[in-house]
C-alpha cells in the first residue's frame, strides 16, 4: 500500500510519518496475532418478514465484548470458552443462545427477533470515531435518535438539541446560528472566529456554523459530545462536538413520504427512496425536502412583510457499494437552497431615552424601512471507504463543501431610516482523513491516523448610515453639523479573505488493566497555517467640497483591494487526554478523565477604526478539563448517566459586539464547573426522558480596554455569554393500544432554560430571560409503522423570550423567539 502524506514542512512531516508508521505497525501486529478462538458469524433479521436489522447489538453476556450488525444484518464475534451470546435491538425482544468453541473454530448462528415495546434500546455513538454502545463509552454524551426526532416533531438541527443538558441554541437567520455547550458557544457574527463547538455531518468537519443549520433530511441520529474532544475530533472542540449522522443506503427496497402543514402557512414535504440495484452489493438512496413558512414578526409595510418568510428546498443522494464483506464504499452528495429567511428582530429603543424620537416596537410588530432579503446555496460531496485488514479496519474520508449566503436588510430595524447593512459569506473546503482502528474488544484497542484540511473563507460587509442618523451624529460629536439637512448617506465596505491549511496526526488507545479497569489515553499533534487578507474602504458624502465624515465615527480606510493588509496565524499544538474507567458490573461504569483542548488563533474580520490593522489577530486558547462520571443501566427499562466537571481556560477568545463597534480580546483566565444528568425510564406503555444541567462559569481576569470615558474595563466576575445557569427538560410519552393493530401516542417535551447573557458585558437589556417551552404531539399509527397521522404543537403556552440582541447608538434591537405554532403531519412508509 502506497500512502502519500501532504507536504507541510520537513520537521512536521517527519513527526507525522513516524506516528503513522507506528500505527500501521501496531495494526500489522494485531492482524498477525494468533487467536485460539472460535469465530461465530450469523445474520439478525425481523421475524415477521426476514428483513435484516442493521445496528443490532450482539454481545457475550457477563463481559464488555460485543459488536453490531452491518448493512446486511450480519455480525462476527469470537469466543474462547463456553458463553451465552445475546442479541438486542430497539423495539424487539432480547434473544440469547448458549455457544461453545468448536474444533473447526467456526460457527454460524442466526437470530430472528420478535417485536417488543417494553425495553429501552441500546444507543450507538461514535465518540471514539467507531460505533460503540453509549453506556460503554467513558464520555459525557447525548444521542438524539431518529425515534426521538419523529416523536418530538423535530424539523431542523436546532430543534433536535432541545433536550441536551447544558446546551442552548439560538438564531436570527438560518445561517446566523449559535450552538453553546457548557457555556462555550459558536460566534455567528464574525467569519474570523472558528466555532468553539465542532460541527460534523457524516464525519466531515464544518468550521463555521453559517454552513451548518438547515432542514433535516434522512437523519439516523445526532450525537452531542460535551467537553473537549481534541484527540479524535480536532482542535476546535473546546466546548464539544455536534455530529449529524445520515441514514446509510440499505441493501433493500423502501421509502417514505412525509407531509406537514401548520399555522403561519407552514408547509413541509420530505421524502426518501432506497433501492437495491445489485443484490447484496449496490444500493442507492435519494432524499428531498421542501419547507415554506410566513414570518411571525409582522411588518406594517406590505412590501416588506411580503419578503418575511422561509423558503428552502434541498436533496441528498448516496450510494453504497460492497463488492465483498471486506470493503464498503459510500458516496454522498447534497444540495440546499434558501430563498428567504424570516425576520426575527424588532426595535427596542433604549431603556432610558428614545434617541430616534420614536417609540419601541410593541410585541411581534415592527415598522422597518428596508426589506430583509436572504439567499443561501450549499453543496458538497463525501466519499468514505472502509477496508478490513485482518481484524482491523482502515477508513478513508474525502470531502468537499461549498456554502455561499447573502443578507441585506434594515440595520436599525426601525421606521426611521438610520442604517442599512449587508453581508456575503463564502466557505469552501477540502478535507482528507485516513484512520485505522482495531476491534474494541481487544486487550489493547486503538485508533489513529492523519487529517488534512484546506479551507477558503470570505466575507464582504457593506454598511451605510442614512439621513436619519444625522441627529445621532450631532449628539455624538457634541455640536451641530453644517448643512446637516443635506446629508443622504455615508458608508464602508469591509472585505476579508482567509486561507487556512491544517494537518494533524492522532492516536488513541484503551488498555485493559484488568477485566474491570481500563486505561484510556490519546494524543493529537496539530499544525496549521492561516492567512488573512483584509481591506476596508469608507465612502464619504461631500457638500461644497467638505465631507460630513459621520462614517468616520465607526470606520477608517485600511489597505486596499489591490494592496490588502495581510496577517498570518501559525500554530502547532498538542491536544491530549488521559482517563480510567471501572466496570463495577456489566450495568454500571464509573470514569475519571482529563482532557487538554486547543483552539487556534483567529482574525477579527469586522469593522475597525485602526488604520494599521494591528488588532486583526487574536491569540489561540487552551483549556484543561477534569471530569468524573458514571453510567448505569440497572434494568432493561432504566438508564441513568451523570457527570461533574471543572474547566480552566487560558486566553479564551471573546468578542464584544455592540452594534457597529466590534472588539476582540483574549480573557487570560476563565474558570467554572458544572453538573449534568440524564435519565430514561419505561413502564408498560409509558416512557420518560429527563435531563438536567447546571453551570457556574465566570471570567477570573478579563481586561478589555477602556470605556467611552477612558476608564479601564475588566469583566472579571461576569458570566460567559450564552451560558445559562440551569437547564432542565422532561419528555413524557404514553402509547395507548386501541386495538390489536392500532396505537395512539401522546407525547410532551418540556424544556426550561435559565437566564443567559447575549454579550460578555452582561447587558441585562438584551439578555435571554429564563423561559419554559412546552411542546406536544398526538399521533395514530398501526403497529407495523406503515403510516402515521399526527397533530403537533410547539411553544403551546406562547412563551416569548429574547434569542439575541445588540446595543446600538440609535437604540437596541432584539430577536424574539418563535411564538406558538402547530400543525398536522402525515407520513407513509412503503416497500
Compute the half-sphere exposure of residue 590: CA atoms within 13 Å on the CB side of its CA: 3
Q: Which of 145-159, 512-526, 666-680 has the lowest mean pLDDT?
A: 145-159
| pLDDT category of residue 770 using cuts at 50, 70 and 90 | very high
pLDDT value for 210: 65
pLDDT beyond 70 at 49: no
pLDDT value for 272: 94
Shortest CA distance to 493 belongs to which of 422, 426, 562, 565?
A: 422
Residue 596 cell numbers, joined: 487538554
CA distance 482 to 487: 10
pLDDT digits (tens, 9 = 90+) for 190-249: 888 888 888 898 999 988 776 566 677 788 899 999 999 989 998 788 889 999 999 889
For residues 97 and 110, is the Cβ–Cβ distance under 8 A? no
CA distance 673 to 697: 6
pLDDT value for 94: 81
CA distance 247 to 237: 24
Q: Where are the alpha helices (DSSP H) in 397-550?
A: 470-477
pLDDT value for 211: 58
Helix (H, G, I), strand (E, B) or coil at 484: helix
pLDDT value for 185: 81
pLDDT value for 16: 53
pLDDT beyond 90 at 369: no
| pLDDT category of residue 798 using cuts at 50, 70 and 90 | very high
pLDDT digits (tens, 9 = 90+) for 78-133: 888 888 898 988 767 788 888 888 887 888 899 988 766 667 877 889 999 888 88
Helix (H, G, I), strand (E, B) or coil at 15: helix
pLDDT value for 102: 82
| pLDDT category of residue 536 using cuts at 50, 70 and 90 | very high
CA distance 598 to 24: 27
pLDDT value for 509: 96
pLDDT beyond 60 at 617: yes
Count other C-beta atoms under 10 Å from residue 594's C-beta: 13
CA distance 244 to 126: 11
Shortest CA distance to 624 belongs to which of 595, 653, 666, 601?
A: 595
| pLDDT category of residue 29 using cuts at 50, 70 and 90 | very low
CA distance 653 to 662: 13
CA 468 remoteness from chain centre: 40
**Cβ-proximal residues to 446 (8 Å cutoff; 6+ apart), any chain:** 23, 26, 437, 438, 507, 508, 509, 510
Shortest CA distance to 649 belongs to which of 754, 755, 723, 759?
A: 723
pLDDT value for 773: 96
| pLDDT category of residue 346 using cuts at 50, 70 and 90 | very high
Q: Bridge-partner residues for 500, per DSSP? A: 455, 530
Q: Bridge-partner residues for 171, per DSSP? A: 177
Averaged over 305-314, what is the pLDDT?
A: 90
pLDDT beyond 60 at 15: no
Averaged over 424-452, what is the pLDDT?
A: 94
pLDDT value for 288: 94
Domains (ranges, CATH) in the chain? Answer: 243-830 (2.40.170.20)
pLDDT beyond 60 at 76: yes
Shortest CA distance to 94 belongs to which of 129, 118, 78, 69?
A: 118
CA 762 remoteness from chain centre: 25
Higher pLDDT, 177 or 537: 537
Q: Which of 386-390, 444-448, 659-663, 793-797 has the lowest mean pLDDT?
A: 659-663
Q: Where are the alpha helices (DSSP H) in 384-468?
A: none
pLDDT beyond 80 at 663: no
H-run or E-run covering 788: strand 787-794
Averaged over 614-622, what is the pLDDT?
A: 89
Strand order across the beta sheet in which 345-349 lies: 345-349, 811-816, 802-808
pLDDT beyond 60 at 771: yes
Compute the half-sphere exposure of residue 500: CA atoms within 13 Å on the CB side of its CA: 28
pLDDT, mean over the chain: 88
Q: Classify strands 703-706 and 742-753 as parallel, antiparallel or unpaired.
A: unpaired
pLDDT beyond 60 at 150: yes
pLDDT value for 84: 86
pLDDT beyond 80 at 17: no
pLDDT beyond 80 at 22: no
pLDDT value for 88: 85
CA distance 636 to 745: 21
pTM equals 0.86
Averaged over 807-829, what is the pLDDT?
A: 93
Longest dimension (CA), the chain: 102
Q: What are phi and psi of 808, to 5 degrees?
A: -115, 165
Helix (H, G, I), strand (E, B) or coil at 18: helix
Amino acid at each position: 500500500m502506497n500512502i502519500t502524506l501532504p507536504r507541510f514542512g520537513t520537521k512536521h512531516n517527519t513527526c507525522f510519518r513516524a506516528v503513522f508508521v507506528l500505527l500501521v505497525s501496531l495494526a500489522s501486529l494485531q492482524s498477525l496475532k494468533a487467536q485460539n478462538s472460535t469465530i461465530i458469524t450469523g445474520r439478525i433479521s425481523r421475524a415477521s418478514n426476514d428483513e435484516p436489522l442493521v445496528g443490532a447489538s450482539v454481545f457475550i453476556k457477563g463481559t464488555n465484548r460485543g459488536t453490531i450488525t452491518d448493512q446486511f444484518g450480519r455480525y462476527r464475534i469470537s469466543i474462547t470458552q463456553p458463553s451465552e451470546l445475546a442479541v438486542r435491538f430497539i423495539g424487539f425482544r432480547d434473544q440469547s443462545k448458549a455457544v461453545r468453541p468448536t474444533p473447526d473454530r467456526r460457527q454460524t448462528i442466526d437470530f430472528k427477533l420478535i417485536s417488543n415495546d417494553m425495553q429501552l434500546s441500546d444507543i450507538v455513538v461514535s465518540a471514539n470515531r467507531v460505533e460503540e454502545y453509549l453506556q460503554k463509552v467513558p464520555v459525557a454524551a447525548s444521542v438524539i435518535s431518529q425515534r426521538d426526532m419523529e416523536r418530538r416533531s423535530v424539523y431542523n438541527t436546532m430543534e433536535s438539541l432541545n433536550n441536551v443538558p447544558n446546551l442552548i441554541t439560538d438564531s436570527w437567520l438560518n445561517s446566523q446560528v449559535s450552538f453553546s455547550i457548557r457555556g462555550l458557544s459558536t460566534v455567528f457574527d464574525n467569519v474570523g472566529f472558528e466555532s468553539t463547538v465542532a460541527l460534523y455531518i457524516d464525519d466531515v468537519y464544518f468550521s463555521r456554523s453559517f454552513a451548518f443549520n438547515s432542514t433535516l433530511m434522512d437523519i439516523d441520529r445526532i450525537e452531542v459530545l460535551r467537553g473537549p474532544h481534541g484527540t479524535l475530533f480536532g482542535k476546535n472542540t473546546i466546548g464539544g462536538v455536534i455530529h449529524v449522522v445520515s441514514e446509510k443506503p440499505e441493501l433493500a427496497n423502501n421509502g417514505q413520504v412525509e407531509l406537514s402543514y401548520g399555522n403561519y402557512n407552514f408547509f413541509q414535504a420530505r421524502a426518501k427512496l432506497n433501492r437495491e440495484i445489485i443484490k447484496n452489493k449496490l444500493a442507492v438512496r435519494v432524499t428531498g425536502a421542501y419547507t415554506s413558512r410566513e414570518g411571525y414578526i409582522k411588518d406594517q409595510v406590505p412590501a416588506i412583510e411580503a419578503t418575511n418568510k422561509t423558503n428552502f428546498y434541498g436533496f441528498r443522494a448516496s450510494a453504497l457499494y460492497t463488492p465483498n464483506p471486506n470493503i464498503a464504499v459510500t458516496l454522498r452528495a447534497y444540495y440546499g437552497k434558501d430563498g428567504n429567511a424570516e425576520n426575527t428582530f424588532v426595535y427596542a429603543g433604549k431603556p432610558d431615552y428614545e434617541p430616534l424620537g420614536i417609540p419601541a416596537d410593541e410585541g411581534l410588530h415592527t415598522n422597518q424601512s428596508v426589506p430583509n432579503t436572504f439567499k443561501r446555496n450549499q453543496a458538497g460531496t463525501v466519499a468514505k471507504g472502509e477496508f478490513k485488514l485482518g481484524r482491523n479496519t482502515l477508513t478513508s474520508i474525502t470531502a468537499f463543501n461549498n456554502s455561499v449566503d447573502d443578507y441585506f436588510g434594515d440595520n436599525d430595524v426601525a421606521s426611521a431610516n438610520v442604517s442599512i447593512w449587508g453581508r456575503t459569506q463564502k466557505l469552501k473546503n477540502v478535507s482528507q482523513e485516513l484512520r485505522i482502528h482495531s476491534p474494541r474488544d481487544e486487550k489493547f484497542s486503538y485508533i489513529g491516523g492523519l487529517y488534512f484540511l484546506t479551507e477558503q473563507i470570505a466575507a464582504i460587509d457593506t454598511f451605510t448610515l442614512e439621513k436619519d442618523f444625522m441627529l445621532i451624529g450631532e449628539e455624538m460629536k457634541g455640536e451641530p453639523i453644517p448643512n446637516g439637512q443635506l446629508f443622504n448617506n455615508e458608508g464602508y465596505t469591509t472585505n476579508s479573505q482567509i486561507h487556512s491549511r491544517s494537518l494533524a496526526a492522532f492516536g488513541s488507545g484503551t488498555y485493559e488493566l484488568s477485566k474491570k479497569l481500563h486505561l484510556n489515553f490519546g494524543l493529537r499533534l496539530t499544525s496549521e497555517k492561516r492567512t488573512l487578507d483584509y481591506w476596508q474602504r469608507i465612502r464619504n458624502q461631500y457638500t461644497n467640497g467638505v465631507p460630513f465624515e459621520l462614517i468616520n465615527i465607526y470606520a477608517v480606510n485600511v489597505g486596499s483591494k489591490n494592496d490588502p493588509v495581510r496577517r498570518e496565524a501559525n500554530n502547532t499544538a498538542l491536544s491530549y487526554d488521559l482517563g480510567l474507567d471501572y466496570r463495577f458490573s456489566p450495568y454500571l461504569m464509573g470514569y475519571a478523565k482529563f482532557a487538554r483542548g486547543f483552539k487556534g488563533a483567529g482574525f477579527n474580520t469586522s469593522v475597525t477604526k485602526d488604520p494599521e490593522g494591528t488588532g486583526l489577530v487574536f491569540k489561540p486558547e487552551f483549556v484543561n478539563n477534569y471530569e468524573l462520571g458514571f453510567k448505569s443501566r440497572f434494568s432493561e427499562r432504566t438508564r441513568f448517566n451523570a457527570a461533574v466537571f471543572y474547566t480552566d481556560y487560558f486566553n479564551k477568545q471573546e468578542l464584544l459586539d455592540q452594534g457597529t463597534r466590534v472588539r476582540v480580546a483574549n480573557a487570560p483566565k476563565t474558570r467554572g464547573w458544572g453538573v449534568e444528568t440524564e435519565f430514561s425510564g419505561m413502564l408498560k406503555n409509558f416512557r420518560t426522558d429527563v435531563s438536567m444541567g447546571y453551570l457556574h462559569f465566570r471570567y477570573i481576569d478579563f481586561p478589555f480596554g477602556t470605556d467611552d470615558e477612558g476608564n479601564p474595563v475588566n469583566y472579571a466576575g461576569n458570566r460567559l455569554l450564552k451560558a445559562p445557569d440551569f437547564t432542565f427538560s422532561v419528555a413524557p410519552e404514553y402509547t395507548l393500544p386501541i386495538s390489536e393493530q392500532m396505537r395512539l401516542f401522546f407525547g410532551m417535551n418540556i424544556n426550561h432554560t435559565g437566564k443567559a447573557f447575549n454579550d460578555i458585558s452582561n447587558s441585562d437589556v438584551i439578555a435571554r430571560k429564563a423561559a419554559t417551552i412546552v411542546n406536544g404531539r398526538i399521533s395514530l399509527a398501526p403497529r407495523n409503522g406503515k403510516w402515521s397521522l399526527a397533530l403537533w404543537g410547539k411553544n403551546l403556552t406562547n412563551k416569548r423570550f429574547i434569542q439575541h440582541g445588540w446595543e446600538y447608538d440609535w437604540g437596541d434591537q432584539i430577536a424574539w423567539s418563535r411564538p406558538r405554532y402547530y400543525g398536522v403531519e402525515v407520513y407513509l412508509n412503503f416497500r
